[in-house]
């Protein structure tokens, strides 16, 4: 459905994207992950046909997105990273304007989305918060029921409840066979919605993984507080897990150890269960750490 092949663009100054290739199948939700400045928006702007590549091509349904821009855009819904609105418009007048361009006749989808996202469509856009503007942009990207939806950091500015609502909207569209490309910094969002994801760093794709592989790359840190120092020591010496002892807390707060767990949860549970444990805190490795870890271990691959 969506094919990115050897896409390259070098900006003055040397930054850009370099030989980016991946493809997204019909009905697939494909995540596009990477730290700030990695090249996600640049790739997405090429996919939308807004930028001419130095090298390479992007096709949607066999149409070249640069050469057949007009035809492609009729198939695609797009939420940009930063939405440009016209001054003086309300949410409603913006959606009316977009709807006319998209040829939307039936407003039921639009009204349903507004209901789900809960915002006042009559508010002037210049008075809207970032999250409200984002909601207007989401409605505009989805309301004409396009075959492909491209989303550049869709949940930035949305509160956790609305992030959840958004995920449900994506999953419902996925059921209908809509194809998605979604850039994000948020691992939970990608985890809940995507089948596969590409990781981009410094303009280069360093991995394309299915979501289960990505999950197994995610390391969790558990901070376990033992009742007894001797038991804490026994755990450190015999568990076979990767541990790091925190400073002892002689104030009666117990004896803390940090344990890094990557997939071997059974062992972690079995080993900790042997001792008296006062508390366990969990720290999930964030996406940035996963990239760094992956990058450091493997260098540039694919």
Ligand X SMILES: Nc1ncnc2c1ncn2[C@@H]1O[C@H](COP(=O)(O)OP(=O)(O)OP(=O)(O)O)[C@@H](O)[C@H]1O
* Cα 252 from Cα 236, distance rounded (Å): 20
- Report, in Å, the least distance between residue 147 CB and ligand X: 24
Of these, 1, 29, 38, 151, which contacts ligand X (CB under 6 A)?
Answer: 38
The binder of ligand X chosen from 24, 29, 30, 39 (CB under 6 A): 39
How far is the first Cα of the chain from the last one, in angstroms, to the nearest whole number? 21
Among 20, 40, 99, 271, the residue binding ligand X under the rule CB under 6 A is 40
Phi-psi region of 23 (alpha: psi -120 to 50; beta: other; left: phi over 0): beta
Q: Using CB under 6 A, which of the segments 31-39, 69-77, 172-180, 230-238 binds ligand X?
A: 31-39
21, 41, 233, 285: which one binds ligand X (CB under 6 A): 41
- Helix 130-142 to helix 108-117 angle (10° resolution) is 150
Position 8 contacts ligand X (CB under 6 A): no
Dist CA 98 CA 111 (whole Å): 14
Give the other-Cβ count within 10 Å of 227's Cβ. 14
Phi, psi (rounded to 5 degrees) for 76: -115, 140
239 is a site residue for ligand X (CB under 6 A): no
x/- contact string, 43-82, with ligand X (CB under 6 A)? --------------------------------------x-
Do 205 and 211 touch, CB atoms closer than 8 A?
A: no
State which of residues 6, 10, 11, 302 lies at the interface with ligand X (CB under 6 A): 11
Residues that bind ligand X in the complex, under the rule CB under 6 A: 11, 13, 15-16, 34, 36-42, 81
């Amino acid at each position: 459905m969506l094919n990115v092949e050897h896409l390259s663009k070098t900006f003055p100054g040397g930054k850009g994207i370099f030989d980016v290739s991946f493809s997204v199948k019909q009905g697939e939700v494909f995540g596009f992950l990477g730290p700030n400045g990695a090249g996600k928006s640049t790739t997405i702007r090429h996919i939308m046909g807004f930028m001419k590549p130095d090298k390479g091509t992007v096709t949607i349904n066999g149409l070249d997105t640069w050469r057949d821009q007009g035809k492609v855009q009729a198939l695609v819904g797009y939420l940009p990273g930063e939405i440009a609105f016209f001054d003086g418009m309300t949410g409603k007048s913006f959606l009316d304007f977009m709807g006319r361009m998209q040829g939307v006749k039936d407003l039921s989808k639009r009204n349903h989305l507004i209901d789900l996202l809960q915002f006042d469509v009559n508010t002037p856009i210049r008075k809207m918060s970032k999250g409200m503007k984002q909601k207007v942009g989401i409605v505009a990207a989805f309301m004409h029921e396009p075959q492909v939806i491209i989303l550049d950091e869709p949940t930035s500015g949305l509160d956790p409840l609305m992030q959840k609502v958004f995920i449900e909207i994506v999953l419902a569209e996925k059921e209908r066979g809509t194809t998605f490309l979604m850039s994000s910094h948020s691992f939970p969002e990608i985890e809940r919605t995507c089948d596969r994801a590409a990781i981009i760093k410094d303009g280069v794709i360093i991995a394309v993984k299915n979501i289960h592989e990505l999950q197994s790359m995610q390391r969790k840190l558990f901070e376990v507080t033992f009742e007894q120092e001797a038991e804490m020591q026994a755990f450190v010496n015999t568990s076979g897990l990767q541990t790091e002892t925190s400073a002892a807390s002689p104030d009666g707060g117990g004896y803390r150890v940090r344990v890094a767990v990557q997939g071997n949860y059974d062992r972690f549970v079995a080993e900790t269960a042997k001792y008296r444990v006062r508390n366990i805190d969990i720290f999930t490795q964030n996406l940035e750490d996963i990239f760094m870890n992956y990058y450091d271990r493997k260098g540039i691959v694919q």
